[in-house]
Amino acid sequence: MKKQLKEAEYLVIYFYPAAFTGGCTKQACTYRDQKKELAAVKARVVGVSGDKPETLELFALEHQLNFTLLSDESGEIAELFGVPRKDGGSIQREIGGETLDLERGTTIQRWTFILDRKGTLLYKDSEVSAAEDSGKVVEFLASLQ
C-alpha cells in the first residue's frame, strides 16, 4: 500500500449517490476494472457516498473493489467540494443470501474531481456519466503526461 501511495501523483475523488444501485455499481466496477490504466497515469481513487461504513464494506466485498470508499453520512465532505446533496434514504438488497435494509445519511450527486499532490484542483466534472467516468479520468490524466 505504501508503494501505491508513494507513486500516486493524482487523487481522483468521485462522489456517488448510493452503493448497490445500478449506476453507482457500474461506476465503481469501471474504476475497479481500470486499476492498471489508473496506475499508469499515477492516480489513486477514492469513492465518497452518504452510505454507512458497514454498507461500504459490503459493497467493496461484493464487487471486489480495489480502492478506498469513504462514508460521508453527514454530507460534510460533499459540502467542502460544493457537491449538491439531499436527504438520505434506504434500499433493500439481497447480499450473501440475506435481505438487508441499507440506509444512508445523505444522497450525494455524482461528481468527480482530480487533485494533484499539492491539493490543486485540476479537473471537475459535475455532469458525470457513471459508465464513462473512469475512462474520462484516465484520458484527462494521460493528456498531462
Catalytic residue among 24, 43, 45, 77, which?
A: 24
Residues 24 and 107: their CA atoms lie apart, in Å, by: 12
Cross-strand pairs, 125: 112
The reply to whether 29 belongs to the active site is no
Q: How far is CA 30 from CA 85, 138, 145, in A?
A: 23, 11, 22
Burial state string for 48-71 with b = 16 or more CB within 10 A and e = fewer than 16: bbbbbeebbebbbeeeebebebeb
Q: Catalogue the active-site residues.
A: 24
